[in-house]
């Protein structure tokens, strides 16, 4: 019974933290879109955000969610391996992309975490001066290596979310034969919008930076 409760808590922690991080990505993408179409609005938003008194609490919450997601995901992987669940994953629904996303979830998570650290070092430690956020991002993307890393990270995030959205609903017990198709399609659509959005923004700002 203790092992069962531990397994349930690990699944709950992984799913809830993952969904919270997806929510952050939605908000973050909405926040950076104006950098392409309304730079003044983007700078005002960035300045207001970074001066908000609740920002440290938000950052602490996100850091805790990320740490919880990493730990619980690793514990799940270890538990599956110890239970002998080492069979190669194949798509039973004729969807090789979903199978690839599932097989690569640990690698995608590691790549995403590595990118996050790089991103924070480049644009948050220290933070650009007010009114300089877009210029700082474009300066980073002016470097071809950085531009490649940002684009690769967007693709990796897409792949990771294709697996994560469905897995989170399954771990929370929300995935049923009735709603399974809708959740899978909705999750993949969201993954494509988020990853594709970050990819297009990275490409557009790279072009603007080098032109």
For residue range 59-84, list pLDDT tens digits in order: 999 999 999 998 988 888 777 677 66
Q: How many domains does one find in the chain?
A: 1
Give dist(CA 37, CA 139) in Å, integer: 18
pLDDT at residue 36, as a whole number: 93
Residues 144, 202 contacting (CB under 8 angstroms): no
CATH number at residue 102: 1.20.1300.10
This prediction has a pTM of 0.86
Low-confidence ranges of the chain (pLDDT < 70): 1-5, 80, 83-99, 101
pLDDT at residue 109, as a whole number: 81
Kindly state the tokens that stand for 75. Answer: 């514990």
Q: How many CB atoms lie within 10 A of CB 101?
A: 25
pLDDT at residue 143, as a whole number: 95
Three-state secondary structure string covering the chain: CHHHHHHHHHHHHHHHHHHHHHHHHHHHHHHHCHHHHCHHHHHHHHHHHHCCCCHHHHHHHHHHHHHHHHHHHHHHHHHHHHCCCCCCCCCCCCCHHHHHHHHCHHHHHHHHHHHHHHHHHHHCCCCCCCCCHHHHHHHHHCCHHHHHHHHHHHHHHHHHHHHHHHHHHHHCCCCCCCCHHHHHHHHHHHHHHHHHHHHHHHHHHHHHHHC
Domain extent for 112: 2-210
Kindly state the tokens that stand for 162. Answer: 């294709």
pLDDT at residue 106, as a whole number: 76
pLDDT at residue 3, as a whole number: 56
Kindly state the tokens that stand for 167. Answer: 């897995």
Give dist(CA 34, CA 134) in Å, integer: 10
pLDDT at residue 131, as a whole number: 93
């Amino acid at each position: 019974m203790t092992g069962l409760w531990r397994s349930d808590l690990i699944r709950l922690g992984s799913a809830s933290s993952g969904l919270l991080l997806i929510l952050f990505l939605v908000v973050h993408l909405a926040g950076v879109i104006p950098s392409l179409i309304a730079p003044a609005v983007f700078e005002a938003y960035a300045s207001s955000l970074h001066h908000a008194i609740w920002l440290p609490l938000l950052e602490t919450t996100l850091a805790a969610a990320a740490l919880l997601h990493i730990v619980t995901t690793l514990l799940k992987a270890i538990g599956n391996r110890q239970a002998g669940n080492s069979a190669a994953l194949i798509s039973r629904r004729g969807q090789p992309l979903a199978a690839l996303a599932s097989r690569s979830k640990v690698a995608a998570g590691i790549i995403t975490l590595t990118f996050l650290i790089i991103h924070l070092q480049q644009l948050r430690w220290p933070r650009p001066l007010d009114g300089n956020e877009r210029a700082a991002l474009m300066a980073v993307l002016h470097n071809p290596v950085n531009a490649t890393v940002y684009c690769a990270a967007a693709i990796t995030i897409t792949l990771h979310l294709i697996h994560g959205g469905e897995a989170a609903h399954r771990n929370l017990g929300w995935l049923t034969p009735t709603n399974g198709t809708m959740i899978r399609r909705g999750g993949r659509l969201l993954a494509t919008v988020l990853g594709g959005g970050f990819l297009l923004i990275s490409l557009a700002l790279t072009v603007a930076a080098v032109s």
